[in-house]
Each structure stands twice: as C-alpha cells, then as structure tokens.
Amino acid sequence: INGGVVNVPAQFDVTLYDAFGNRRNQGGEPVTVSTIDTGAFSVVADLSLTDLFDGSYRIKFRGIIVGDFEFNIRWNGTALGGSPFPARIVLTTGIPDATTSTIVGSNKISIEAGKSISVMVELRDRYGIKITT
C-alpha cells in the first residue's frame, strides 16, 4: 500500500478472496480500516471506507503531516493477511522511479516490430506514491 502527499487526497482498493482464492463478488462484509501512528502525532485525516458491492472496498484518506503510519485492515475483526500495512506521507513526491511505475491497462496486446503504440504510464516515486503533476 502506498502512502501519499501532505494534503492531497489518496485512495486504494481492497478486494476480498475466499479461502480457495476465489474473488468475492458481493459486498456487505464486515470490513474495517484504521490507522496506527508510529510517531507522536496523527499522520492521517479523513479516513473512510466505502463498500463497492462487488467484493472490493475503497479506502480514502488524506495525510496531514509528514510521517510513517500503518493501515490496519480487518475482516470480521481478524487482520487481513499482511495487515497492518506500512505507509508513508511525504511533503512532495519524488522523481519517477521505474521500479514502482506501471503501464496502466489490463489487456495484453501484440505489436508488430517497427510499429508504434500508445500506452498510459502511471508514474510513481521510489516510495510508490503516485505522481499527479
């Protein structure tokens, strides 16, 4: 999970799967989210969780100071695998980093050598924070 930039709203989605690895296809699950501050001050404000009614949940937040924290995501009171997840709020994003930036899209395509193609690249800095400007 990536953090964010001070005073810039951020979000990520969590998708639930059953014990056999099948994606849940409906909402209404008892999912909760909270943050755990690792410093003396609260790093995150405006934390919310929205049920998308397809087995996924959108978590929105806004960092209010620079610092490290963790997202504690639970289902029916039990921590999801890997939770709590560390994250960081930074003052500004860094330069784009090839190891964390991705090509956006879900379809695989083939292209003939020597031909052109347009792609959308989602730039992220070395901490995985999305670069929007």
Q: Mind listing the pLDDT tens digit for each residue in 41-100?
A: 778 878 999 999 999 999 999 988 888 888 999 999 999 888 999 888 887 767 788 888
Inform me whether the pLDDT recorded for 13 exceeds 90.
yes
Ranges of H-type helices in 11-133: none
Answer for the pair 89, 63: CB distance below 8 angstroms, yes or no.
yes
- What's the token pair of residue 131? 């670069």
Ranges of H-type helices in 1-133: none
pTM over 0.85: no
**% of residues, the chain, pLDDT over 90:** 29
pLDDT at 93: 66
Strand extents, DSSP E, 1-133: 4-5, 9-15, 31-37, 44-51, 56-63, 67-75, 78-79, 85-90, 102-104, 120-122
Q: How confident is the model at residue 110 (pLDDT cuts 50, 70, 90)?
A: confident
DSSP helix/strand/coil, 62: strand
Q: Rounded distance, CA 19 to CA 2, Å? A: 26
pLDDT at 106: 64
pLDDT at 133: 65
